[in-house]
Amino acid sequence: MGGFEQEKHLKPLIAVVLILFLLSIAWIYTSHQQRLDRLDRKIESTRNELTQFNISLQDYLELELQIKKLSSGTTQQNLISSVEDATEQISARSQLSYVRPQPDKIRDGLTEEGVEIKLEKLQLHQLVELLYQFDQSDQILKVSQLRIRTRFDNSEQLDTSITLSRFKETGL
């Protein structure tokens, strides 16, 4: 009977050990799956952050390129084109004799860029409109010099010479 009694106690013990073993494997598997899920979420989150970073970097590079374009040597052309646009708006483009860029002057951390323009056979209202156009320009323009002469052949027409200046911070 001794062997029968041992089997009687051994079977439940083996069953308990087997159940504990299966529960341990299930617990290990579940915790492993949870760790993998957390890692997957972390990977996805990192990918999203990396995508956002790349988009932000691209935007930054585009803005930096725009700043370089704006602050490069195109400023004289912009000033000249502003003059041409203003004379076009007052219907005096044909009376524009010349537009001469002036050398840049650097004072107190500011660079003064300038152009000299000459207009001939201009009516007084056209001159007033032109000065108003310069005043209303997107660029901050200053009339540094203004010379007005009446024409000898028609006292109602004017010959004018204007020096326009624009200031920007040195180093930009």
pTM strictly above 0.85: no
* Alpha-carbon separation of residue 132 from 33, 35, 87, 128, 166 (angstroms): 74, 71, 11, 6, 16
Sequence spans of domains, the chain: 1-72, 74-169
Let me know: does 102 contact 116? Beta carbons within 8 Å. yes
The reported pLDDT for the residue numbered 1 is 46
pLDDT in tens, the chain (172 residues): 455 566 777 888 888 999 999 999 999 999 999 999 999 999 999 999 999 999 999 999 998 888 776 665 445 557 788 888 888 888 888 888 888 888 888 878 788 888 999 999 988 889 899 888 888 877 778 888 999 999 889 888 899 999 988 887 776 5
**For residue 87, what are the contacts with CB-CB under 8 A and spacing of at least 6?**
93, 95, 96, 119, 130
Domain 74-169 has CATH 3.30.930.10: no
